[in-house]
Amino acid sequence: MKIIVKLYGVLRDLVGREILELSCEYDECVLYRIFEKIVQTYPELKNYINVVNKEIYVRGVSIIINGRHIMFYDINEIIKEDLLIDILPPVSGGS
């Protein structure tokens, strides 16, 4: 399974890359395990994403998975398709 993670703004600057490519085997393709792998591979994201006891804790970022907010996913579900994960920092501005 192919996983593409796109980082934006300060997160991209923090990690030094815009696109992260990961893969997982069938038994690893559970959302909480995918996020454990992301944070283990890129520890710079630990201030924003943590996985504790199979729960994903998000602080100050929005996570979109295949066009849907993470809150609409069961984080214990086995994922059976390629993933595009967008991790967006807080947005401010306007008029």
Separation CA 58–CA 48 (nearest Å): 6
Cα separation, 43 vs 39, whole angstroms: 5
pLDDT the model gives residue 39: 94
Beta pairing, strands 55-58 & 19-23: unpaired
What's the pLDDT score for residue 80?
84
Reduce the DSSP state of residue 77 to 3 states and report it: coil
pLDDT 10s digits, 7-64: 999 999 999 999 999 988 766 789 999 999 999 999 999 999 999 999 999 999 999 9
**Per-residue pLDDT tens over the stretch 59-93:** 999 999 999 999 999 988 888 889 999 999 877 65
User: For the residues of 7-67, what is the DSSP string, one character each?
Assistant: E-HHHHHHHT-SEEEEE--GGG-BHHHHHHHHHHH-GGGGGTEEEETTEEEE-S-EEEETT
Q: Supply the pLDDT for residue 79.
A: 85
Structure-block tokens of residue 83 = 């993933």
